[in-house]
Structure 1
Amino acid sequence: MKLMMKAPAKINLTLDVLYKREDGYHEVEMIMTTVDLADRIELEPLRTDEIRIISHNRFVPDDSRNLAYQAARLLKERYHIRSGVAISIEKLIPVAAGLAGGSSDAAAALKGLNQLWGLGLSLDELAKLGAEIGSDVSFCVYGGTALAKGRGEQIQRLPAPPNCWVVLAKPTIGVSTAEVYKNLKLERLKHPDTAAMKQAIETQNYESMCAHIGNVLESVTLKLHPEVAQIKEQMERFGADAVLMSGSGPTVFGLIQHDSRMHRVYNGLRGFCDQVYAVRLLGDGNPVA
């Protein structure tokens, strides 16, 4: 029996860093939502007691560095599973892009293996396990839209935002999240209004949603990587309704309501960037397959 799962990308509508915690992590507050750009995960039982990662993308690790591998190992150890699994990852989300591709793969593995191994765990239980793997994994287990606090593992689910196009553009660079946080000047941050964004989503106010996007990590990444700032400027120039960097970058996204403008932004960015995508917001929760 093979099981197919989708692992959707996420974008940050807001990302705020409040302070550095005693455990070394940063206390964050952010609103995330999933978009219709997804990796495809195939789970196949093995007769041997091993975890095998299969991917044709050279940037995807096939060992214990892979978050989907870590998800399988966690379930095997926690619930004494003696059977093995092959996890095939068809990578459509750009790697190291600020779109939580690895975290979403781990969440898909958790949910799929819960079915494959008959564990009967709830989404809440899977999200709690996900927090042990990575900060974004809990959110990716639920999918949809949510306000995340703590390290990102405290999840308050929200309704779907007003529907629109999302144009994503990723320059051909990698960004180190650790380096971005290391260079963050907490005392100089201009904090986004997370409460106003939450209200905009709850009242389905597209204009207010566009007015209140914000990401404090831009203050670092745009200085370290001028090409990210250039893509942001181009996206604004081509007419996106709102433009923001997702996560620690380097992917920049634009929110656009009208089809004709979406095509103009998408086609304009193709001249600046190889990796450009036009997708929709997913709305409520993740599709399974």
Structure 2
Amino acid sequence: MIRYPAYAKVNIFLKITGMRGDYHTLSSRFMRVKNLFDTLWFEPKSTPEFEIRGNFDCDVRSNTIYKAYKHLLAATRSDKLSEWMETHAVCVDKRIPSFAGLGGGSSDAATFLRMCNERLELGLGVEELAEIGANVGADVPFFVYGYESANVTGIGEVVERFDEPLLDFEVVTPQIQISTPAVYRYYREHLYAPIGAEETARLESTPSRTILASMTPTEANDLYGAALGCYRELNEKEGWFFSGSGSSFFRIKDEE
């Protein structure tokens, strides 16, 4: 069976731009981590229940892959899809840490959508897949598009490719399970200061290497201070940037 990589991402910058109902809107640069990825493939099985084989810390129905399947099935009403998943398990070699701000669950969901579309010839365009993926999670569209670097805005549904060299990252993940809703809630209650349109435009047009060379980790990520406030056991790492709502830190490999 063909194996598909599901890459991690880091947030070069992450700035809150406002609120849309109960959701925070943002402007962020997502960049692929080329040396950190899960691997997905299909394997024949003998029982009809939806099956995910891999080291996950949640039940099947809470898994982003299962959620992606349900949304894909609802969108396509494909007998081919339901019959395929009755006879095949989704296998995942899990390497991306969970609760880490690296998008592992979102990347797995996006990769599953692309696998099904390709293997079963469902005929969906990337825009349609991204729209389905957005129902699973805010970060899923970025991974559906497969860009190495992109500006992501709105609540994550607007993804625009950013043309720049892919950087090589070193990533460390403290053994702290961070709740993304808790971090956003802390930010909203204690640190809320949305960025203006002019600063947003400046960041979205600036190369990632320049941003990392000119901003501090706290300046680059609005959620960093909120995560530190929520989780006292989370320690600052000098010279390292913070991805998403955490708990992972990253830096460019050639920067000592």
Tell me whether the two structures share a fold, i.e. TM-score over 0.5: yes
Residue 164 of structure 1 and its aligned partner are, at CA, apart by: 3.6
Q: Secondary structure at the match of 1:20?
A: strand
Aligned residue in 2 for 1:279: none
Match of 2:234 among 224, 228, 231: 228
Match of 1:195 among 201, 209, 222: 201
TM-score normalised according to structure 2 size: 0.85
Distance 1:208 1:74, change over 3 A: closer
1:101-250 superposed matches below 5 A: 101-143=104-146, 144-161=148-165, 163-185=166-188, 188-189=192-193, 191=195, 193-201=199-207, 206-212=209-215, 214-230=220-236, 232-233=237-238, 236=239, 243-250=240-247
Q: Where does structure 1 differ by over 6 angstroms across 4 or more consecutive aligned residues?
A: none
Q: Secondary structure at the match of 1:156?
A: strand
Q: Secondary structure at the match of 1:218?
A: helix
Q: Secondary structure at the match of 2:136?
A: coil
Q: Structure 1, residues 22-56: CA drift from partner, whole Å, max 9, x if none?
A: 2x11111111111111000112355765421111x
Question: Which ranges in structure 2 are unaligned for 5 or more consecutive residues?
Answer: none
In structure 2, give the amino acid aligned to 1:222: L
Cα contact 1:210–1:255 (8 A) shared by 2: no
Cα distance in 1 for partners of 2:133, 2:26 equals 17
Cα distance in 2 for partners of 1:58, 1:145 equals 27
In structure 1, give the amino acid aligned to 2:39: R
Aligned residue in 2 for 1:63: 60
Cα contact 1:8–1:34 (8 A) shared by 2: yes
TM-score normalised according to structure 1 size: 0.76
Residue 185 of structure 1 and its aligned partner are, at CA, apart by: 3.8
Cα distance in 2 for partners of 1:115, 1:245 equals 34
In structure 1, give the amino acid aligned to 2:230: L
Cα contact 2:182–2:230 (8 A) shared by 1: no
Q: Secondary structure at the match of 1:51?
A: coil
Aligned residue in 2 for 1:9: 8
Residue 219 of structure 1 and its aligned partner are, at CA, apart by: 1.4
Cα distance in 1 for partners of 2:177, 2:228 equals 13
Q: Structure 1, residues 103-161: CA drift from partner, whole Å, max 9, x if none?
A: 00000000000012210111111111111110000011113111111111111111134
Q: Secondary structure at the match of 1:172?
A: coil
Residue 253 of structure 1 and its aligned partner are, at CA, apart by: 0.8
- Once the two structures are overlaid, the 10-residue window that deviates more, 127-136 or 40-49, is 40-49
Cα distance in 2 for partners of 1:150, 1:45 equals 39
Number of equivalenced pairs: 242
- Once the two structures are overlaid, the 10-residue window that deviates more, 40-49 or 100-109, is 40-49
Question: Which ranges in structure 1 are unaligned for 5 or more consecutive residues?
Answer: 237-242, 262-289
The share of aligned pairs that are identical, in percent, is: 32
